[in-house]
Amino acid sequence: MAADVMTTPASVSRRLPLAIFLAASLMLGGAAASVWLKPTKMMADGKPPVVLHTVVPESFGDWRVDPSIIPVLPDPTVQNKLDALYCETLNRAYINPNGQRIMLSLAYGRNQNSESTAAHRPEFCYVSQGFTIKGFGKEHVALPAHSLNVVRLEAQADRRIEPITYWVTLNEEASTPGLDRKLQQLRYGLQGFIVDGMLMRISSLTDLATSSGGKPDYRLHDQFIADLEKAMTPGFRPRFFGS
């Protein structure tokens, strides 16, 4: 039987400096890499500033601002988070000649590299107001120059039923929350960029008495989205709707 290999105190003492050196090298290398890879270039600095209340028109096509309706707003706790994450927010309601109303809620931030910006997503914003959320998945809205990926939801509180369509943007790319957005954030971050972007939410109202209990008709949402994109200044259009 082979003899047991014994580790003497002397051999241990010879290995310790090497182990300490390797550990220190890994720590220093990790720290250096984190500094080197940390995004530092603010993409928004190279573009015209986004001032939502002036960039988004108050009237376009058949739509006009309706001051009688107030979109669902976050509770104070969530609002404090939004104020720290986003530099611009806008909440408006629009009405057309047929009396149909659309509520528009936007949140723009110069730094969208973090997942903490999810605080304004309807799944969290509406639930904090006492709504229950029903999901209908992701769909495509056909625009003249491209297809826009969106999320469809429905929020309900008592007799108020609110179909919702929303999407997010990074730089001039539109997407939906999930793997695609995370990959975009990673790509920009590895290039050293702090990317700007926004969350865009479209919603309408359906009374419980008129609801069929099935999936809402989102054609009014799609028409509003197309009308707003058409009315937007071309230089800002991709930052709201992608390209």
> Average pLDDT, whole number, for the chain?
81
- The answer to pTM > 0.85 is no
pLDDT reported for residue 31: 40
Highest mean pLDDT: which range of 90-94, 174-178, 183-187: 90-94
3-state secondary structure of 210: coil
Cα(145)–Cα(93) distance, rounded to whole angstroms? Answer: 26
Give 239's pLDDT tier (boundaries 50, 70, 90): very high
What's the average model confidence in pLDDT over 88-116? 88
Cα–Cα dist 44/129, whole Å: 32
In the chain, where do the E strands start and end? 41-42, 59-60, 63-65, 88-95, 101-109, 132-142, 147-157, 160-170, 173-175, 193-194, 197-203, 206-207
DSSP state string for 138-199: EEEEE-SSSEEEEEEEEEEETTEEEEEEEEEEETTEEE-TTHHHHHHHHHHHHTTEE--EEE
Q: Which of 79-88, 102-111, 164-173 has the lowest mean pLDDT?
A: 79-88
Distant-in-sequence, close-in-space partners of 30: CB < 8 Å, separation ≥ 6: none
CB 125 within 8 A of CB 116: no
H helix count then E strand count, the chain = 7, 12
* Token pair belonging to 227: 């009308």
Q: Which residues pair with 93 in a beta bridge?
A: 103
pLDDT digits (tens, 9 = 90+) for 107-144: 898 888 766 555 567 887 788 788 999 988 999 999 99
Q: In the prediction, which pLDDT does 126 show? A: 84
| Cβ atoms of 224 and 202 closer than 8 Å | yes
Residue 183: count other Cβ atoms within 10 Å of its Cβ: 11
| 12 — pLDDT class (breaks 50, 70, 90) | very low
Whole-number pLDDT of residue 34: 42
Task: For residue range 20-68, list pLDDT tens digits in order.
Answer: 655 555 554 444 344 445 777 888 898 999 999 999 999 999 999 998 8
Reply yes or no on whether the pLDDT at 148 is more than 90: yes
| pLDDT tens digits for range 190-219 | 889 888 988 999 999 886 555 566 788 999
